């Protein structure tokens, strides 16, 4: 494996908690992996399961999905939908022979800058060990 | 547009003046904002960071500054002073002198050529004299307005008649040496004073060597050193040799709590200021050690104690309780501190640098101003206001906010500003108004069907971004992306001149989409959206790339990767921008009534303020009587009678024709959204009633912590401060001798499980001890304390108590006092209290006739249920969590809901009153409008694709989408939809989409991510 491998991790972050937590990590100058590429969404429940699949198949080495803690959703129940959908997507990944470890769902609140930084680093390290997204070399229609 | 008979003059454009102006303007009231310096902003722009969140001060302030200067109802008078107020409240005539600027603000383009060429160097006031500026200059880099002005006292031409260099180089002919001071007269209904404070000048403290020793600086100078946009670009260095200091001493209470200079008050903010500075200094240099020399650490605000703990535990800041006697300079420029402990021990220690934590004092000239405006001052020279009229000056119709009537931090200033606005409403026309659709009346360009022409602006944010990311490279990269017509770098995208640049670029390049790569959309998106709408673009044709908070700040050690990530983020933003479409914001009608939950001091005051402004108020109290916790307060430092005030308040509430009161009531359910809330409650009769209202004020209060410590509940001689106060009031002391009285502070506060200061207990205990002195002059009073937190003007009473002979013993959480019943069988047993005094290093044993416990203030457990109903958050202590601790202290993130009083956190009566009025003032910014505009980000249905399966309906938490039974297609209720997108992700037909976050937009965002895909990949 190439030591220089810098993973790219598409990170869907909900506007109210995880994105704000990521901002806080920056405001607190917590240093974390630059592999994390944030995409703001209104709620984690906005993230269609197809997005996860699509992000993976278009070459992301990892896909992170961040939402409010259960019970804290700005939209009351959005993250419960996310949780159920995510469980299914992982199963779909496995049954298709894709690496479900490249998907991660985390609850990060607006005040959890340190947690965001920690998860960013941990997940990057995990992906680094997994190596490049193998489907990059494959053909998908 | 402006009715002369419906306007307010606000004096002072610091954070308080800005907040007051914005609140008034939001209510449709005209504002004349009068400011002495050439810019708005006040003290806050001088600050690098703010405690306890370490938010960048300028980052949170600049959107408000920009909003203030661009609001059509706010007229700004810079370099101006208020000379006279004549007439009666409701019809004041104010005389204002606008001083000559010598630069035509309309012509000036803020290019800075004049400053470059000006030969006169003067000390830069904004940077505390740490760098030079010129006789023609901007007050600071992000000044608003951004135009230059000439300092007449230093200009060579204006003083000596020679030079005129600026006139020669000015490309627009903006220089006007003939400019004159102008006297103008303004007719206003009310006046709000917000002139703020000055920092104490420690030049008189010879023994600390300020100005004699170059490495002794004030805290404000140090703040400018820490600031990335300051004179040292954030690299702290010693003036003597330019070396970065490795250890820094902070000396607290310089100019505060000092009888010798007639400043026997606490400046309230300096402890937190020093803690913040030591944390930030440590972040700049991890090897740095910071030591704070203090008498008491007064971290009494919300979440302050956690910050104090963090400084000790995470940042290794050392706290030394002692008094510094002298600072002496050594040969190498180092400084030797001589300091005395409470037990008299003297120590010496060497430091690289000394920071004097200077206190806050009344503004220079405030005595003169008080004479001109005929308002009273207190004995320290602050504007006088009373406990129960904390926002009123001694002159009717003239209100005060910010630190002008006593030291305050930023959120307290903001709260008092919104409160003063509620006070001023009394003198204003109560008619509701219809706000315009925004965009400054600029007609919107039609862009649908046009090829995307995107403009990209890459912000340096001073060195915040440019110090890590190669911003030039990012802009160059952006320029090469498809559909990007124009890309450029800007120093501060949010500054007024850059906003103007963006607008002119839209016109020059006929842009129809704008991308700004800067900080976070959370704080700045509204500003940029407003800007492009002023340029004729639909505000939703805008996208931000967060290359600061989530890039440069998070990858400071990896500039290359940060640059590469910035490019990704910009490319993603451009990809999204390509697919953006104009969105429409629909008006939401606002019900004019308000629901106030809680009938204590805060709830009743908020209710009255709203009702007095002409709105119906529903006041709901769970107890049988109104009054809440205030029913147990009988004394005040100033001698006023809380019960008299309370009964007057209750009478006014019950007699008010616009307030309807429910007692013994419980709220069953609250649904709806801003302007359209529906509440179900059961009142005394047990009948379920339904109310509709436009806003909610949460004023549920707090409760006294029930302790089991110190034998409480096992002897009638162990009481809480609350019970003690009632004893003092009705004389119901325990029978027999009352000679030895012990008071233990922080019972339940500032320890595991309740890591916060309950704020009022120190002052309350001092107040009650002084009352006891009056009744039992021979009683011995002993205090067991951790820090005595008699902040503000309560300090004087603390001194009075100490002078009267009360003894104070310090204890730490590891060596708490103990209490034993002398006769455990006796329910009225005396109590043996043992305190380990760490200073005296021995045990002190007192057989107490009365033990008074300062028990903590707890959040109400019921808060949780209410928080869930309202969909608002609680903090980890169970108290309601405001939208932003600094600048939105009484708002919730959810619009139309506000918080005040103990429900927000511990505070005294005066502070509760101020906050209640603030909550009322903020609620009125909505209630005064007939309608507001809904968000544009909502779900939409493509009817032809919808199969009417109803999944979306099942998923939606707001009942905002339903399947029409006749047509069998889903229909979205635009006003109810919050735009989360849960339904969109659930739709298996692809019939649903979220405006502003559409499927195609998001696809293109993450597709753009993969640039170097392997050959053969087909997407």
Domain boundaries, chain B: 1-99+181-196+363-429, 100-179, 199-339, 451-578, 589-702+863-929, 710-727+735-856, 939-994
Which pLDDT tens digit goes with each residue over B275-300? 999 999 998 888 999 999 999 999 99
Q: How far is B561 from chain A (nearest CA, A)?
A: 6
Instruction: State the Cα–Cα distance between residues B189 and B424, nearest whole angstrom.
Output: 8
What does the CA dihedral B573, B577, B582, B584 come to, rounded to 10 degrees? -10
Q: Which CATH class is domain B100-179?
A: alpha beta
Contact assignment for B550 to A26 by CB distance below 8 Å: yes
Collapsed DSSP state (helix, strand, coil) of residue A122: helix
Is the CB of B980 inside 8 Å of chain A's CB atoms? yes
Contact assignment for A75 to B957 by CB distance below 8 Å: yes
Architecture of the domain made up of B710-727+735-856: 3-Layer(bba) Sandwich (3.50)
Can you give the three-state secondary structure of B977-1007, one letter per residue?
CCCCCHHHHHCCCCCEEECCCCHHHHHHHHH
Residue linked to tokens 């549920």:
B700
Instruction: State the Cα–Cα distance between residues B806 and B793, nearest whole angstrom.
Output: 19
Q: CA separation (Å) from B311 to A130, B159, B304?
A: 39, 51, 11
Distance of CA B502 to the CA centre of its chain: 29
Would you state the pLDDT for residue B440?
55
DSSP symbols for B698-736: E---EEE----STTBTTBTTEEEHHHHHHHHHH--PPSS
CATH of domain B451-578: 3.40.50
Chain B, 521-550: which have a CB under 8 Å from a chain A CB? 521-522, 546, 548-550
Selecting from A10, A72, A75 the residue whose C-beta is nearest the C-beta of B982 gives A75
Chain B, 935-974: which have a CB under 8 Å from a chain A CB? 937, 955, 957-958
Domain that holds residue A68: 9-137
Structure tokens at A37: 């590429």
Instruction: State the Cα–Cα distance between residues B587 and B437, nearest whole angstrom.
Output: 9
Among B961, B998, B1003, which residue's Cα sits nearest to residue B983? B961
Would you state the pLDDT for residue A1?
42
Which pLDDT tens digit goes with each residue over A98-119? 899 999 999 998 777 889 999 9
Percent of chain B whose pLDDT exceeds 70:
98
Q: How far is A73 from chain B (nearest CA, A)?
A: 9
Can you give the three-state secondary structure of B646-703, one letter per residue?
HHHHHHHHHHCCCEEEECCCEEEEEEEECCEEEEEEECCCCCEEEEEECEEEECCCEE
Q: What mean pLDDT is predicted for residues B401-405?
A: 96
Would you state the pLDDT for residue B438?
52
Q: How far is A56 from chain B (nearest CA, A)?
A: 10
> B7-11 and B992-994 as β-strands: parallel, antiparallel, unpaired?
unpaired
Q: Among B141-150, B178-187, B233-242, B613-622, where is mean pLDDT lowest? A: B141-150
First to last CA, chain B: 56
Contact assignment for B997 to A55 by CB distance below 8 Å: no
Would you state the pLDDT for residue A3?
54
Would you state the pLDDT for residue B524?
85
What band does B640 get if pLDDT is binned at 50, 70 and 90? very high
User: A41 to chain B: nearest residue by CA?
Assistant: B997
Preceding amide of B145 cis, omega within 30:
yes
Show residues of chain B in contact with A51, CB under 8 Å.
Answer: 1002-1003, 1006
Is the CB of B1013 inside 8 Å of chain A's CB atoms? yes
Q: What mean pLDDT is predicted for residues B320-338?
A: 96
Task: Report which DSSP code applies to B231.
Answer: T
Say if CB B243 and CB B69 are below 8 A apart: no
pLDDT score of B822 more than 90: yes
Task: Report which DSSP code applies to B246.
Answer: S
Structure tokens at B309: 């703990």
- Tell me, what CATH number does A130's domain have? 3.40.50
Question: What values do phi and psi take at B373, rounded to 5?
Answer: -95, -5
Q: What mean pLDDT is predicted for residues B150-167?
A: 95
User: B283 to chain A: nearest residue by CA?
Assistant: A29
User: B519 to chain A: nearest residue by CA?
Assistant: A23
Q: How far is A121 from chain B (nearest CA, A)?
A: 11
Kindly indicate whether the domain formed by B1-99+181-196+363-429 is annotated with CATH number 3.40.50.410. no
Show residues of chain B in contact with A31, CB under 8 Å.
Answer: 554-557
Q: What mean pLDDT is predicted for residues B41-63?
A: 85
Residue B336 forms beta bridges with which residues?
B328, B350
> Could you count the other beta carbons within 10 Å of the beta carbon of residue B789?
28
Say if CB A63 and CB A102 are below 8 A apart: yes
Q: Which CATH class is domain B939-994?
A: alpha beta
Among B360, B364, B399, which residue's Cα sits nearest to residue B793? B360
Q: What is the mean pLDDT of chain B?
A: 92
Residue B407 forms beta bridges with which residues?
none
Would you state the pLDDT for residue B1?
33
Say if CB B310 and CB B319 are below 8 A apart: no
- How many Cα neighbours within 13 Å face the side chain of B232? 21
Which pLDDT tens digit goes with each residue over A23-55? 888 877 889 999 999 999 999 999 999 999 999
Burial, B113: exposed, middle or buried (Cβ in 10 Å; 0-12, 13-18, 19+)? Answer: middle
Would you state the pLDDT for residue B437?
54
Among B386, B363, B265, which residue's Cα sits nearest to residue B17? B363
Q: Which residues contact B98 (CB under 8 A, 6 or more apart)?
A: B77, B78, B79, B80, B181, B182, B183, B184
Instruction: State the Cα–Cα distance between residues B275 and B279, nearest whole angstrom.
Output: 6
> Could you count the other beta carbons within 10 Å of the beta carbon of residue B770?
19
Which pLDDT tens digit goes with each residue over B990-1013? 999 999 999 999 998 988 876 554
Is the CB of B520 inside 8 Å of chain A's CB atoms? yes
pLDDT score of B1014 more than 70: no
Burial, A141: exposed, middle or buried (Cβ in 10 Å; 0-12, 13-18, 19+)? Answer: exposed
Show residues of chain A in contact with B957, CB under 8 Å.
Answer: 75-78
What band does A139 get if pLDDT is binned at 50, 70 and 90? low
Contact assignment for A77 to B957 by CB distance below 8 Å: yes
Instruction: State the Cα–Cα distance between residues B197 and B407, nearest whole angstrom.
Output: 8
Q: Among A64-68, B594-598, B935-939, where is mean pLDDT lowest? A: B935-939
The answer to whether domain B100-179 and domain B710-727+735-856 are alike in fold is: no
Selecting from A31, A40, A136 the residue whose C-beta is nearest the C-beta of B554 gives A31
Q: What mean pLDDT is predicted for residues B440-448?
A: 82
Q: Which helix (H) or strand (E) holds B532?
A: helix B521-534
Instruction: State the Cα–Cα distance between residues B924 and B926, nearest whole angstrom.
Output: 5
pLDDT score of B494 more than 60: yes
Show residues of chain B in contact with A75, CB under 8 Å.
Answer: 957-958, 978, 980, 982
Residue linked to tokens 């026309």:
B429
Distance of CA B946 to the CA centre of its chain: 47
Instruction: State the Cα–Cα distance between residues B561 and B557, nearest whole angstrom.
Output: 9
Which pLDDT tens digit goes with each residue over B77-128? 999 999 999 999 999 999 999 999 999 988 887 778 899 899 999 999 999 9
On whether residue A107 sits in a domain, the answer given is yes
Would you state the pLDDT for residue B548?
93
Which pLDDT tens digit goes with each residue over B854-899? 999 999 999 999 998 887 888 889 999 998 888 899 998 778 999 9
What band does B958 get if pLDDT is binned at 50, 70 and 90? confident
pLDDT score of B986 more than 60: yes
CATH of domain B589-702+863-929: 3.50.50.60
Q: Which residues contact B684 (CB under 8 A, 6 or more apart)?
A: B662, B663, B664, B665
In our burial notation (b when 16+ CB lie closer than 10 A, e otherwise), range B704-721 reads bbebebbbbebbebbbbb
Q: What mean pLDDT is predicted for residues B9-22?
A: 98
Chosen CATH of B199-339 out of 2.60.40, 3.50.50, 3.40.50, 3.50.4? 3.50.50
In our burial notation (b when 16+ CB lie closer than 10 A, e otherwise), range B215-238 reads bbbbbbbbbbbbbbbbbbebebeb
Q: For testing the chain B interface, which of A18, A35, A45 should be mutated: the one with the most B CBs within 10 Å?
A: A45
Burial, A105: exposed, middle or buried (Cβ in 10 Å; 0-12, 13-18, 19+)? Answer: buried
Show residues of chain A in contact with B1013, CB under 8 Å.
Answer: 58-59, 136
Show residues of chain A in contact with B553, CB under 8 Å.
Answer: 26-27, 29
- E strands present in B491-637: 513-518, 542-546, 587-589, 594-597, 617-620
Would you state the pLDDT for residue B107?
81
Distance of CA B408 to the CA centre of its chain: 11
Q: For testing the chain A interface, which of B307, B569, B985 should be mutated: the one with the most A CBs within 10 Å?
A: B985
Would you state the pLDDT for residue B140?
86
pLDDT score of A2 more than 50: no
> Could you count the other beta carbons within 10 Å of the beta carbon of residue A135?
18
Question: What values do phi and psi take at B782, rounded to 5?
Answer: -120, 140
Across chain B, how many H-helices and E-strands are there?
24, 52
Would you state the pLDDT for residue A141?
52
**B909-927 and B601-612 are packed helices; what angle lies between their axes, rounded to 10 degrees?**
40
Among B18, B180, B8, B31, which residue's Cα sits nearest to residue B98? B180
pLDDT score of B4 more than 70: no
Say if CB B177 and CB B167 are below 8 A apart: yes
Q: How many domains does chain A have?
A: 1
pLDDT score of B3 more than 60: no
Among B703, B702, B699, which residue's Cα sits nearest to residue B605? B699
pLDDT score of B1019 more than 50: no
Cross-sheet strand order for the sheet of B353-358: B216-218, B353-358, B247-254, B289-294, B318-321
pLDDT score of B2 more than 80: no
Structure tokens at B452: 């995307």
Which pLDDT tens digit goes with each residue over B222-260? 999 998 778 887 889 999 999 999 999 999 999 999 999
Contact assignment for A81 to B955 by CB distance below 8 Å: yes
Percent of chain B whose pLDDT exceeds 90:
80
């Amino acid at each position: 494996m190439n030591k220089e491998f810098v993973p790219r991790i598409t990170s869907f972050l909900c506007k109210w908690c995880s994105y704000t937590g990521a901002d806080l990590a920056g405001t607190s100058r917590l240093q974390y992996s630059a592999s994390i590429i944030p995409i703001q969404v209104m709620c984690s429940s906005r993230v269609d399961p197809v997005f996860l699949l699509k992000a993976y198949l278009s070459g992301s080495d990892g896909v992170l999905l961040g939402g409010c803690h259960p019970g804290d959703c700005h939209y009351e129940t959005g993250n419960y939908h996310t949780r159920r959908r995510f469980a299914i997507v992982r199963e779909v990944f496995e049954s298709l022979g894709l690496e479900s470890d490249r998907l991660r769902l985390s609850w990060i609140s607006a005040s959890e800058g340190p947690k965001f930084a920690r998860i960013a680093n941990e997940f990057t390290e995990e992906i680094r060990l997994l190596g490049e997204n193998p489907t990059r070399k494959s053909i998908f229609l | 547009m402006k009715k002369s008979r419906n306007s307010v003059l606000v004096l002072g454009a610091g954070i308080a003046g800005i907040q007051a102006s914005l609140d008034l303007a939001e209510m449709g009231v005209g504002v004349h904002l009068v400011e002495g310096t050439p810019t708005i902003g006040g003290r806050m722009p001088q600050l690098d960071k703010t405690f306890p969140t370490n938010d960048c001060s300028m980052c949170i302030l600049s959107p408000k500054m920009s909003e203030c200067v661009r609001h059509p109802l706010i007229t700004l008078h810079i370099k101006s002073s208020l000379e006279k107020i004549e007439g009666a409240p409701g019809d004041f005539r104010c005389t204002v002198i606008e001083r000559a600027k010598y630069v035509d603000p309309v012509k000036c383009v803020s290019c800075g050529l004049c400053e470059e060429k000006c030969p006169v160097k003067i000390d830069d006031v904004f940077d505390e004299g740490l760098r030079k500026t010129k006789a023609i200059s901007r007050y600071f880099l992000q000044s608003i307005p951004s135009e230059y002005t000439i300092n007449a006292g230093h200009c060579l031409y204006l003083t000596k008649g020679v030079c005129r260099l600026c006139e020669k180089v000015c490309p627009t002919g903006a220089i006007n040496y003939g400019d004159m001071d102008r006297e103008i007269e303004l007719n206003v209904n009310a006046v709000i004073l917000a002139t703020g404070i000055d920092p104490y000048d420690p030049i008189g403290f010879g023994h600390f060597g300020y100005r004699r020793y170059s490495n002794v600086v004030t805290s404000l100078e140090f703040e400018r050193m820490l600031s990335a946009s300051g004179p040292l670009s954030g690299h702290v260095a010693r003036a003597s040799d330019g070396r970065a200091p490795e250890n820094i001493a902070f000396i607290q209470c310089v100019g505060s709590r000092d009888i010798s200079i007639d400043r026997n008050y606490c400046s309230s903010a300096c402890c937190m200021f020093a803690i913040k500075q030591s944390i930030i200094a440590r972040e700049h240099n991890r090897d740095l050690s910071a030591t704070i020399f203090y008498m008491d650490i007064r971290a009494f605000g919300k979440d302050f104690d956690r910050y104090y703990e963090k400084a000790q535990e995470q940042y290794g800041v050392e706290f030394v309780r002692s008094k510094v006697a002298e600072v002496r300079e050594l040969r190498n420029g180092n400084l030797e501190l001589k300091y005395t402990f409470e037990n008299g021990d003297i120590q010496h220690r060497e430091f690289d640098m000394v920071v004097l934590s200077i206190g806050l004092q009344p503004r220079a000239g405030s005595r003169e101003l008080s004479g001109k405006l005929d308002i009273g001052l207190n004995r320290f020279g602050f504007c006088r206001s009373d406990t129960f009229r904390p926002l009123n000056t001694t002159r009717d119709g003239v209100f005060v906010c910010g630190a002008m009537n006593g030291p305050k931090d930023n959120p307290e200033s903001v709260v008092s500003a919104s409160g003063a606005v509620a006070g001023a409403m009394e003198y204003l026309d109560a008619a509701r108004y219809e706000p315009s659709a925004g965009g400054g009346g600029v007609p919107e360009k039609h862009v649908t069907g046009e090829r995307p022409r995107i403009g990209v602006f890459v912000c340096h944010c001073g060195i915040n971004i440019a110090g890590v990311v190669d911003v030039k490279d990012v802009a160059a990269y952006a320029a090469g992306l498809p559909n990007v017509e124009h890309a450029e770098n800007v120093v501060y995208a949010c500054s007024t001149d850059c906003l103007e640049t963006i607008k002119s670029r839209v016109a020059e390049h006929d842009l129809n989409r704008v991308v700004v790569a800067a900080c976070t959309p959370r704080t700045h998106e509204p500003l940029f959206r407003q800007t492009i709408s002023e340029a004729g673009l639909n505000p939703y044709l805008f996208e931000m790339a967060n290359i600061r908070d989530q890039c440069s700040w998070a990858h400071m050690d990896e500039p290359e990767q940060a640059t590469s990530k910035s490019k990704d983020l910009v490319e993603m933003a451009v990809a999204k921008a390509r697919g953006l479409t104009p969105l429409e914001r629909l008006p939401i009608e606002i019900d004019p009534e308000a629901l106030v939950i809680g009938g204590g001091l805060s709830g009743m005051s908020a209710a009255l303020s709203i009702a007095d402004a002409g709105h119906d108020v529903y006041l709901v109290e769970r107890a049988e009587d109104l009054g809440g916790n205030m029913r147990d307060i009988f004394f005040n430092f100033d001698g006023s009678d809380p019960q008299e005030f309370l009964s007057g308040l209750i009478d006014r509430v019950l007699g008010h024709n616009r307030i309807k009161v429910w007692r013994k009531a419980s709220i069953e359910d609250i649904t709806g959204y801003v302007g359209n809330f529906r509440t179900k409650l059961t009142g005394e009769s047990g009948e379920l009633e339904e109310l509709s209202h436009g806003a909610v004020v949460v004023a549920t209060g707090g409760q006294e912590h029930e302790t089991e410590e110190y034998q409480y509940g096992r002897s009638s001689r162990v009481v809480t401060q609350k019970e003690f106060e009632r004893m003092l009031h009705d004389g119901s002391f325990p029978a027999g001798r009352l000679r030895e009285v012990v008071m233990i502070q922080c019972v339940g506060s500032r320890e595991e499980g309740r890591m916060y200061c309950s704020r009022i207990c120190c002052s309350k205990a001092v107040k009650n001890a002084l009352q006891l002195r009056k009744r039992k002059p021979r009683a011995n009073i002993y205090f067991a304390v951790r820090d005595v937190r008699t902040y503000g003007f309560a300090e004087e009473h603390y001194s009075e108590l100490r002078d009267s002979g009360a003894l104070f013993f310090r204890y730490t959480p590891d060596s708490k006092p103990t209490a034993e019943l002398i006769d455990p069988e006796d329910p009225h047993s005396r109590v043996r209290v043992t305190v380990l005094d760490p200073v005296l290093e021995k045990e002190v044993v007192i057989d107490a006739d009365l033990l008074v416990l300062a028990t903590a203030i707890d959040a109400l457990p019921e808060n949780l249920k209410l928080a869930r109903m309202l969909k608002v958050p609680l903090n980890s202590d169970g108290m309601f969590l405001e939208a932003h601790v600094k600048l939105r202290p009484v708002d919730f993130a959810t619009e139309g809901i506000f918080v005040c009083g103990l429900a927000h956190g511990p505070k005294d009566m005066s502070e509760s009153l101020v906050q209640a009025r603030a909550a009322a003032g903020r609620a009125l910014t909505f209630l005064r409008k007939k309608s507001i505009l809904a968000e544009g980000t909502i779900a939409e249905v493509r009817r032809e694709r919808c199969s009417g399966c109803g999944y979306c309906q099942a998923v939606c938490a707001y009942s905002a989408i339903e399947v029409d039974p006749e047509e069998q297609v889903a229909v979205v209720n635009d006003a109810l939809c919050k735009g989360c997108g849960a339904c969109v992700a659930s739709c298996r037909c692809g019939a649903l989409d979220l405006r502003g976050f559409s499927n195609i937009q998001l696809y293109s965002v993450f597709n753009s991510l993969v640039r170097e895909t392997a050959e053969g990949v087909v997407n």
